[in-house]
Amino acid sequence: MNISKERPAGQKAVVLLLGALFALLSAEAALRLGGFAYRAAQERRNRIAVGREGYRIMCLGESTTAGGEDAWPVRLERALSRRYPEARFSVINKGMAGVNSSELMRELEKNLDQVRPGLVIAMMGLNDGFIRYYDGIAGAESRLFRHFRLYKLTKLLLNKGGAPRPLPVPVPAQAAPYSGPVDPYLPYLDGKKDMARQEAALRGQIARDPGDAASLYLLGRYWALDAGWKKHDAELGKQGEELLLRAARLAPKNSFIPWTLGMYAILQKKDPARGLPLLEKAAELNPSAANWYYVGRAYKDHGLPEKADAALLKALAPGAPLGIREEAAFELCWLYISRREFKKAEDLMREALELDPYNEKVQGALAAVYTESGRPELARKHAARLSSTRGMFTATTRANFAELRRALKSRGIRLAVMQYPLCDPAPLRALFEDAGDIIFIDNDRAFRKAVREKGYTYYFKDMFAGNFGHCTGPGNDLIAESAADALSGYFGVR
């Protein structure tokens, strides 16, 4: 960034160090803030639910469970209340996005003490059984890896090409590593910085030098996307925006500034018409595959498929990291299916299959393409290949389910386990040698029938898992109804 006046070397070093830290926090905010609103709404609702009288059900899972009013646990509570109007139910959602079953188990005892449920429903294990991205990562159990999302994402993407697969199959060669700007202070971040002291130092620096673009950006980002957000302080966020606009005039080529303004406009001001072009400007200033991928996702999520298509195609450029290319390809496939451009979707996934013939997600995506385009024989063929290659549940999953069952049994709590949409329930049942006391919830048959009738994109927002993805409202309704059906024998047939 441009610094308008000379200052002592020590002072410069402090500003540079703060710049490194806040640049990291900007990227960290992109990963955290997207899920922050969901988690905040989820926890507010959980507190209300725990405070109510009635039968308590606690739901465990990953991003397919986590969320606010749109999530299936919320809809399950409504479904049970409709079926049993004389009873009272409180369904508490303890789903967490971006975790595996071991991370869910770390929180189990705390959650059980807090919620005190009579029944636990677990839909977990998916993140254990795809390519095992954590394998081979030094320090994967460290607090830095577990709690700092930017560090975790960077490690996962760099490891993705070399991570072991459920089967011993060849792995495509990784593309050349990204050579753009990388913050050198990332390895040193320990999460113990005193934010209040840093804020005071930045305010003092701006008072001494109003033309200091670096400090304007750092303090503006902190107020707009961190302190203002957490404190629900709209005025502080607005002051941060004003600092960022001043910084943008002083440092027009710095990509972090329009990115931060774009995120602020989308998340805080609920103004995607202003925020999306700013995110695209940031990607143009720093045209990495990752930046274009996130721009494409943002356009897709805000109902702009043509712009999403163009951005995601840039993320597929030759030389892009394998992990980014794979995620961009699945986002594009969903877009093509939603626009009924089945030939484009098929060609995209067949090209991906040539690069990685044993990729179970690609097999699942092709099954979805053929189902949507009315080619059931090809759909069944690729669905069968998916079943033969997908290592959905691992030894770790089995051990965690066994520990979950033991912990609940010791407290007298009943366990229900749920299979993911469009997935055979048999592998889930096979995790348990004696399943007599477990309630099994099947999401395969209902989803297959529903998708045949109304289409894939009516029930799923994406296809991150290949043959299924995160659910829309109707998709979460299907999960809730399947759960209510399976629980009818436990609560009594309606």
Q: pLDDT tens digits, residue range 422-450?
A: 998 988 998 898 888 899 999 999 999 99
Q: What pLDDT score does 133 carry?
A: 43
Residue 196's pLDDT is 57
Using alpha carbons, select from 452, 447, 451, 389 the residue that is nearest to residue 420: 447
User: In whole angstroms, what is the distance from residue 29 CA to residue 373 CA?
Assistant: 39
pLDDT at 187: 27
74-82: long-range pairs with CB below 8 Å, 24+:
74/45, 75/476, 75/477, 75/479, 75/480, 76/121, 76/479, 76/480, 76/483, 76/484, 77/49, 78/480, 79/477, 79/480, 79/481, 79/483, 79/484, 80/484, 80/487, 80/491
Q: What is the pLDDT of residue 167?
A: 34
Q: How far apart are CA 101 and CA 134, in angstroms?
A: 13
pTM of the full predicted structure? 0.69
What's the maximum distance between 2 C-alpha atoms anywhere in the chain?
78
Place of tokens 């386990």: 417
Per-residue confidence (pLDDT) for residue 172, from 0 to 100: 38
pLDDT value, residue 444? 94
Going by DSSP bridges, is the β-strand pair 439-441/89-93 parallel, antiparallel, or unpaired? unpaired
Domains and CATH numbers, the chain: 52-130+393-457+471-491 (3.40.50.1110)
* Whether 59 contacts 121, CB under 8 Å: yes
pLDDT in tens, 33-69: 544 444 544 554 554 444 456 899 999 999 999 977 7
Query: Does residue 30 contact residue 64 with C-beta atoms inside 8 Å?
Result: no
| Positions in the chain short of pLDDT 70 | 1-53, 129-197, 228-231, 388-392, 492-494
Of the candidates 184, 186, 260, 183, the one whose C-alpha atom is nearest the C-alpha of residue 217 is: 260
Give the type of residue at 149: R
